[in-house]
Structure 1
C-alpha cells in the first residue's frame, strides 16, 4: 500500500478532493461564468500548482516544527498534484480542443507556454510513477535525485502560467515567491549541513619522518 490509512489520512484525502467537488458543483449549477471551459482549465491548473507548493512545503515545515509525521503525507500531496495536473491536461485536450489532434498539434507548435506545461507534466508523471516503495528500492540513490526535479516542475508550471496570462499577473508572481522561498530554505539548510559536516571532520596529524624513526 502507498499509505498507512488512519483518521488523519482520510480527513486530508477528503480535503484534497474538495476542490474537485466544488468544481463539479459549479459545473452542475452553471456557476463558471461566461467562459466555463476556461474556468475549468484555470481552476484545475491552479490546484495542481497549489498541491505542488504544498508538497514542497512539507520538508521546511517538518524542519521547523520537528514533526516527522508530516513526511507521511508528502507523497499523498504529490499524487494529488499529479491528479489535478492530469485533469488540467485532459481539460485542455478534450474540453478545450474536443480531442482534435490536428488543432492540438498546431496549438502546441504556436504556443511556447504549452511546452513548459508539458515539461512540468512529464516530470510530475515520472515522480508519480516512481512514488511507490518498490520503485524507491529499485532506483536506490537515484530516487532522491529524480524527486528533486519537483522544483523544476514547479518552475516550468509557473512559467507556463505566467506566459499564458494577458492581464493580472498577481497569482503567478505569488506562486513564484513561494517556490523561491522554499528553494532558498532548502539551499540554506544544505549550506548549514555542509558547514557542520566540515567542522565534524577531524584534521589529520602530520607525522614526520623523525617521529616514525623514533624508538
Structure 2
C-alpha cells in the first residue's frame, strides 16, 4: 500500500498533467499554428471531457481488480476535470459560435439533436461538480449523495450519443465506437458486480 505522502504526490502529478491538454491548445492557438483554431479547441475540449469521463468510470473497476484502494482518492479530482473540460467545450459553443447570444444558443440547442443531448449531459454535470465537496456530502448525507452522483451513468451514454451524432455528418464512427465500447464495458462491469452482490445478499 502507498503512504499518504506518496498518494499526495500522485494526486499532484495527475492535477498538473490534467492541465497539459489545455496548455497545448492555448499554446498552439496563441502561436498561430492552427488552420482552424475554433474546430481544434471545440474538438479538443470535447475529446478530453470524454477521456476524463472514461478515467472516472475506470477508477472503481481498477480499484476492485487491483486491490489498490488509494485509487478512489483520484476520482473526485478526475470528476472535476470532466466538468472543467465540459465547461470549456460548452463555452466554445456559446462564445465562438454564438458570441454569448443566449437566445440564438437556445434555438441551436433545440434545433440540432446532437447539441441537445450534449447540452443535457453538461447540465447534469453541474450538480455533480457543485456537490463534490466534503461539506456537501455531509449536508446531503452519504446515501443521497451517492444516488445523485449516479447521474454519471446517464451522462456517459448521453455524451457518447452527442459524439456519435456529431460524427454522423462526417460518416466517421471510429472514435465514437471506441469511446462507446470503453464506457459500455465499464458500465457493464458495475451491472455484473451489482447482480453478484444481490445474489449473495
TM norm. shorter chain > 0.5: yes
Counterpart in 1 of 2:34?
32
TM-score, with structure 2 as normaliser? 0.91
Q: Whose Rg is larger?
A: 1
The question of 1:143 aligning with 2:150 is answered: no
Structure 1 residue 6, shift from structure 2 partner: 2.4
Could you tell me which residue of structure 1 aligns to residue 17 of structure 2? Answer: 15
Query: Unpaired segments of 5 or more residues in structure 1?
Result: 198-215
Output the CA distance in 2 between the equivalents of 1:36 and 1:79: 25
Q: Shift of the alpha carbon at 1:76?
A: 0.3
Separation of aligned partners in 2, 1:81 and 1:162: 18
1:98 maps to 2:99: yes
**In the alignment, what sits opposite 1:114?**
115
Superposition TM-score, scaled by structure 1 size: 0.85
What residue in structure 2 maps to residue 69 of structure 1? 70
Runs of 4+ in 1 over 3 A off after TM superposition: none
Between stretches 63-72 and 98-107, larger displacement belongs to 98-107
- 3-state SS of paired residue (1:6): helix
Query: For each residue in 1:79-137, what CA deviation from the matched residue of structure 2 results, as whole angstroms up to 9, or x when unmatched?
Result: 00000000001110012222223432321221111111111111111101111111112
Q: Count residues in correspondence.
A: 193
| Number of the residue aligned with 2:81 | 80
What is the CA-CA distance between 1:30 and the residue it aligns to?
A: 2.1
Whether contact under 8 Å (2:109, 2:119) holds in the other structure is no
